[in-house]
Amino acid sequence: MDYNRLHSYEAYQAAYAASVQDLEGFWGAIAENFTWRQKWDKVLEWNFEEPKVAWFIGGKLNITENCIDRHLATRGNKLAMIWEANDPKERYMRWTYRELSEKVNQFANVLKNNGAKKGDRIAIYMPMIPELMVSVLACARIGAIHSVVFAGFSAHSLADRINDAACSMVLTSDGMNRGAKQIPVKRVVDEALEMCTSVEKVIVVDRVGWAVNMQEGRDVYLHEELPKASKVCEAEIMDAEDPLFILYTSGSTGKPKGVVHTCGGYMVYADYSFRNVFQYNESDVHWCTADVGWVTGHSYIVYGPLLAGATTLMFEGVPTYPDPGRFWQVCDKFGVTHFYTAPTAIRSLMQAGEDHVLSYSLDSLKVLGSVGEPINEEAWHWYHTHVGKNRCPLVDTWWQTETGGIMISTLAGITPMKPAHATLPLPGVQPVLLDGEGNEIEGNDVEGYLCIKAPWPSILRTTYGDHERCRINYFAAYKGYYFTGDGARRDEHGFYRIIGRVDDVINVSGHRFGTAEIENAINQNENVIESAVVGYPHDIKGQGIYAYIICKEMPENPIQVRAEIVETVVAEIGKIAKPDVIQFVSGLPKTRSGKIMRRILRKIAEGDVSNLGDTSTLLDPLIVDEIKDGAIALMA
Ligand code: PRX
Beta pairing partners, 83: 93, 314
Centroid of ligand 1 to alpha carbon of 536 (angstroms) = 17
How many Cβ atoms from other residues are within 10 Å of residue 206's Cβ? 15
**Among 109-123, 532-546, 601-615, the least confident range:** 601-615
Asked, for residue 286, whether it belongs to a domain, the answer is: yes
Asked, for residue 324, whether it belongs to a domain, the answer is: no
Q: Are residues 69 and 163 in the same domain?
A: yes
Q: Are residues 401 and 518 in the same domain?
A: no
Rounded Cα gap, residues 538 and 527, in angstroms: 27
Atom of ligand 1 minimally distant from the CA of 370: 26
Atom of ligand 1 minimally distant from the CA of 375: 24
Q: Are residues 128 and 185 in the same domain?
A: yes
The pLDDT assigned to 609 comes to 84
Q: Are residues 35 and 174 in the same domain?
A: yes
pLDDT band at 346 (very low <50, low <70, confident <90, very high): very high
Q: Are residues 473 and 543 in the same domain?
A: no
Q: Are residues 123 and 216 in the same domain?
A: yes
Rounded Cα gap, residues 528 and 537, in angstroms: 25
The pLDDT assigned to 617 comes to 83
- Could you please report the per-residue DSSP string of 552-567? SS--SSHHHHHHHHHH
* Residues lining ligand 1, Cβ inside 6 A: 249, 295-296, 371-374, 396-401, 422, 484-486, 498, 500-501, 507, 512
Q: Helices 558-572 and 515-523 sit at what angle, rounded to 10 degrees?
A: 120
Asked, for residue 350, whether it belongs to a domain, the answer is: no
Q: What is the span of the domain harbouring residue 228?
A: 9-318+397-488
Q: Are residues 200 and 121 in the same domain?
A: yes
pLDDT at 254 > cutoff 80: no
Which CATH number is 573's domain given? 3.30.300.30
pLDDT tens for 556-584 read 999 999 999 999 999 999 999 999 999 99
Centroid of ligand 1 to alpha carbon of 340 (angstroms) = 14
Atom of ligand 1 minimally distant from the CA of 294: 10
Asked, for residue 412, whether it belongs to a domain, the answer is: yes
pLDDT band at 253 (very low <50, low <70, confident <90, very high): confident
Atom of ligand 1 minimally distant from the CA of 422: 26
The pLDDT assigned to 53 comes to 98
Centroid of ligand 1 to alpha carbon of 500 (angstroms) = 8
Asked, for residue 308, whether it belongs to a domain, the answer is: yes
CB 510 within 8 A of CB 542: yes
CA distances 210 to 222, 225, 407, 470, Å, are 14, 18, 43, 42
- Considering only CA atoms, which of 444, 393, 399 is closest in space to residue 415? 393
Looking at residues 216-242, what average pLDDT do you find? 98
pLDDT tens for 257-311 read 999 999 999 999 999 999 999 999 999 999 999 999 999 999 999 999 999 999 9
The pLDDT assigned to 593 comes to 84
pLDDT band at 635 (very low <50, low <70, confident <90, very high): confident
pTM (2 decimals)? Answer: 0.96
Which CATH number is 428's domain given? 3.40.50.12780
pLDDT at 615 > cutoff 90: no
Centroid of ligand 1 to alpha carbon of 452 (angstroms) = 15
Looking at residues 85-109, what average pLDDT do you find? 98
- Considering only CA atoms, which of 152, 378, 142, 422 is closest in space to residue 277? 422
DSSP H helical ranges for 279-423: 295-297, 304-307, 326-334, 343-351, 355-358, 377-382
Asked, for residue 32, whether it belongs to a domain, the answer is: yes
pLDDT at 16 > cutoff 90: yes
Centroid of ligand 1 to alpha carbon of 498 (angstroms) = 9
Q: Are residues 304 and 432 in the same domain?
A: yes
Rounded Cα gap, residues 349 and 319, in angstroms: 8
Closest-CA residue, ligand 1 atom 12, reads 372
Centroid of ligand 1 to alpha carbon of 234 (angstroms) = 37
- The alpha carbon of 239 is separated from its chain's Cα centroid by a whole number of angstroms, namely 25
Closest-CA residue, ligand 1 atom 14, reads 400
How many domains, in total, are found in the chain? 2
Looking at residues 2-20, what average pLDDT do you find? 97
pLDDT tens for 454-478 read 999 999 999 999 999 999 999 999 9
Mutation pick for ligand 1 pocket among 347, 371, 396, 402 (CB with most ligand atoms within 8 Å): 371
Rounded Cα gap, residues 308 and 303, in angstroms: 9
∠57-63-68 over CA atoms, to 5°? 150
Q: Are residues 481 and 525 in the same domain?
A: no
Q: Are residues 439 and 513 in the same domain?
A: no
Asked, for residue 456, whether it belongs to a domain, the answer is: yes
pLDDT band at 636 (very low <50, low <70, confident <90, very high): confident
Looking at residues 432-460, what average pLDDT do you find? 97
CB 301 within 8 A of CB 290: yes
The pLDDT assigned to 1 comes to 78
pLDDT at 133 > cutoff 80: yes
Closest-CA residue, ligand 1 atom 25, reads 398
Mutation pick for ligand 1 pocket among 498, 502, 506, 509 (CB with most ligand atoms within 8 Å): 498
